[in-house]
Structure 1
Amino acid sequence: MADTALAAPPRSPLAHAADRLAAATRASRGAIRLAELPFLTQVNVRLDAKGAAADAVGLALGLQLPLEPDTVVRAGESTALWLGPDEWLLVGPPGNERGLESRIREAAGDEPVSVTDVSAQRTTLLVTGSRARDLLAHGCPLDLHPRAFEAGRCAQTTLGRTQVVLVSRDEPRAGFWVLVRSSFAGYLADWLLDAATEYV
């Protein structure tokens, strides 16, 4: 007899913390907003930035891969983060992994390219509000002043002793994305909630 039980829907790494993140957001009255953005598509791309594949991939995606260190390029719902001279992280809406991978491989043709779906490796925390920079500064070694880490910048760094990719979003009042490995997400959420107590 066939097993007709439906598979359980995927559970995000911070599903257990959603109520506490929402409560801290409400209590801060606009100073801090904390939320998980689960299941975002995340595809790591490595190729020669000066080769033909870089331009072809940029055209196929509708956004050019950023060439300036620690910068972000956004077009529509897709965002490209510079991680190194030949490495980028493409972030998009949930469920777009296979389509994104296929477009990149097809665009690159015979040029050497590495395309890896890392969507399940990390989750994303959204940190916004009037005190978002202050909150992150409690545990991040970077200078987060807007002159030093302006909108449209990203960095691989640490936050509360956890390795993260920190993105200063370029939309008005969009705050920050904190991309953290799923296995450390619970710890980082607890750290953020503890650090946010002075704002609630």
Structure 2
Amino acid sequence: MSDTLANDLITPDVDAAPLLSQPGVSMLKAAPITRLSLRAREATLKDAGSAFGVELPVKPMTCNTGQKRAVLWMGPDEWTLLAPADDLKATFDAIEGKHESHSHALVDISERSEAVIVSGEKAVWLLNTGIFIDFSLETFPVGTVTRTIFHKSPVMVWRTGTDTFVVEAWVSFMDYVSGLLVQSARELEAA
């Protein structure tokens, strides 16, 4: 597995100013992407992966990536599929075409969530101000993904590099999440 996952998919939004930029840690708003939620049975996973272009992971808290594609394990029968923003219709139609005779749920959640990219040698410290997970590389290696709570907000955290994390939250919570991260970073800067 590459040390930096999805660097061709999860990229900074070039139209947005950095949310945080200080020695040791930065936070950038991620560019919009296609997000699909797939709920399906084990018998159809191979077809879904074939249609999407990336095999669906079956091991908890893992991901599989391909060129401009990522699949994140969210639960025993649930995955989040990520693709470029302009691939929504083609991706959706390809998966639906493979599953028309199988029970499943495929939902476009692209507008539901936003993501920020938190990176730098102090990224773990910053995330641990509101998430009580051991983010050491031994426990939470590159490629690990989980749902959790940041203070009082549900978030998804995906480690895409040694010192790089994607933090995703619902649009209605993102100002709260990013605001608390910036506030916590001020404490780091003062220390």
TM-score by length of 2: 0.86
**Residue of structure 1 equivalent to 2:187:** 198
Q: Is 1:183 aligned to residue 183 of structure 2?
A: no
**Residue of structure 1 equivalent to 2:6:** none
Q: How many pairs were matched up?
A: 175
**Residue of structure 1 equivalent to 2:76:** 85
- Paired with 2:162 and 2:150, the residues of 1 have a C-alpha distance of 23
Q: Which of 43, 59, 63 does residue 50 from structure 2 map onto?
A: 59
Retained in 2: the 8 A contact 1:32–1:199? no
- Paired with 2:25 and 2:184, the residues of 1 have a C-alpha distance of 11
Q: Which of 129, 138, 141 does residue 129 from structure 2 map onto?
A: 138
| CA-CA distance at 1:112 after TM superposition | 1.2
Retained in 1: the 8 A contact 2:17–2:28? no
In structure 2, what residue type is equivalent to 1:193? V
CA RMSD of aligned residues (A): 1.6
- Paired with 2:162 and 2:142, the residues of 1 have a C-alpha distance of 9
Q: Is 1:129 aligned to residue 120 of structure 2?
A: yes
What SS does the corresponding residue of 2:54 show, helix, strand or coil? coil
- Paired with 1:161 and 1:100, the residues of 2 have a C-alpha distance of 33
Per-residue CA deviations over 1:83-133 (Å, capped at 9, x if unaligned) read 111100011222322221111111223111210000110001110111111
| CA-CA distance at 1:20 after TM superposition | 6.1
Q: How does 1:1-200 map to 2 (within 5 A)?
A: 18-19=16-17, 21=19, 24-25=20-21, 28-29=22-23, 31-49=24-42, 51=43, 53-169=44-160, 171=161, 173=163, 175-200=164-189
Query: Structure 1, unaligned stretches of length 5 or more?
Result: 1-14
| Runs (4+) off by over 3 Å | none
Higher share in strand: 2
Retained in 1: the 8 A contact 2:51–2:94? yes
In structure 2, what residue type is equivalent to 1:34? M
Per-residue CA deviations over 1:133-159 (Å, capped at 9, x if unaligned) read 111011102211111111111001011
Q: Percent identity?
A: 24
Query: Structure 2, unaligned stretches of length 5 or more?
Result: 1-12
